[in-house]
Amino acid sequence: MALRLGLTSFGGPIAHLGYFERTYVRERQWLTPDEYGGLVALCQMVPGPASSQVSYLIGLRRAGWSGAVAEGNVKPAHAANAPPQPARRNPIK
């Protein structure tokens, strides 16, 4: 599930929260709307993008620590990044 979201969701953290709500609350019914709202409220109080923390907590709740690692490491930003390029020498000296 996280891989599909990682490959198809684009936008900032607030947009990702909308994708998560649609997928995990309405389609999969892994969380109730109140549970999801509580996770989002909690995650907005800690530093960093709320979507990252919400995805970790959904994974933790669904499949324990392995789920948290799997869910939290497949994000839209990760899927959109290009592979690293080899270092180039500076042509200007």
Nearest Cα to Cα of residue 75 among 48, 60, 56, 62: 56
Q: Answer yes or no: is 53 within a domain.
A: yes
Dist CA 31 CA 58 (whole Å): 8
Per-residue pLDDT at 32: 95
Q: Answer yes or no: is 54 within a domain.
A: yes
pLDDT digits (tens, 9 = 90+) for 9-27: 666 778 888 888 998 999 9
Q: Residue 22 belongs to what domain range? A: 2-80
Q: How many domains does the chain have?
A: 1
Q: Answer yes or no: is 91 within a domain.
A: no
The answer to whether the pTM exceeds 0.85 is: no
Q: Answer yes or no: is 41 within a domain.
A: yes
Query: Which tokens is 61 given?
Result: 């709740």
